[in-house]
Amino acid sequence: MSEGAFSTRLPRKIEPAKLAQQSLTLEGYVPAEALLRVQEAVLTLSNVRCHLSFRVDEQYRRLVEGHLHAEVELRCQRCLEAVPHAQACEVKVALVRDEDRAKDLPAWLDPWLVSESEADLYEFVEDELLLNLPQIAWHEEDCIDPELYSHGDEPEEKSEEERENPFKKLEQLLNKD
């Protein structure tokens, strides 16, 4: 896919039901600076490339299908440095007006609650990304000396004295008064 296809900045406010009636596809990007909640969860965030097709299906459900792509950097749980990560999200949702209608959806369709004709596309993209981002990340290679974080597996031989020490201390505390 060429970058050119995603050079259009998508609007924040869209009318998803209307887009579905017209069977339109939105292709473009959502600017990273508008996605503050995602920015809080990652170290860096690229613009989010979106390909979203809107349609009405045989059961008159208004569907949005497609995918999102973003480049993020997450914090490595071992060395605390940045780990680059390409985040892709598969989107398959149905527009619903309220929670009750959301419950009627089949398992393969997630609800997108839109109570008015206008909806916030950026918020939607943000929610989808947050749902899909890995909770923890680390470099695949050994980014720090394994000795530094493996402890307790093979305890060092302790001298008899050291081993008894904690109990002696406890004894001393108990016998204090």
Which residues contact Zn ion by CB under 5 A?
A: 76, 78-79, 139, 143
- Contact between residue 8 and residue 28 where contact means Cβ atoms under 8 Å apart: yes
Q: How far is the CB of 130 from Zn ion (least distance, A)?
A: 23
Q: For Zn ion, which is the closer residue by CB, 69 or 78? A: 78
CA distances from 67 to 32, 38, 52, 157 (A): 16, 17, 6, 55
64 burial class (0-12, 13-18, 19+ CB within 10 angstroms)?
Answer: buried
In the Cβ-directed half-sphere of 83, how many Cα atoms lie within 13 Å? Answer: 20
- Contact between residue 67 and residue 92 where contact means Cβ atoms under 8 Å apart: no
Q: For Zn ion, which is the closer residue by CB, 34 or 76? A: 76
Residues contacting residue 130 through CB under 8 Å, at least 6 positions apart: 37, 38, 41
Q: How far is the CB of 143 from Zn ion (least distance, A)?
A: 3
Cα 130 to Cα 142: distance, rounded to the nearest angstrom: 27
Q: How far is the CB of 138 from Zn ion (least distance, A)?
A: 6
Q: For Zn ion, which is the closer residue by CB, 70 or 74? A: 74
Q: For Zn ion, which is the closer residue by CB, 51 or 139? A: 139
- Contact between residue 111 and residue 101 where contact means Cβ atoms under 8 Å apart: yes
Q: For Zn ion, which is the closer residue by CB, 24 or 79? A: 79
Q: How far is the CB of 140 from Zn ion (least distance, A)?
A: 9
Q: How far is the CB of 48 from Zn ion (least distance, A)?
A: 25
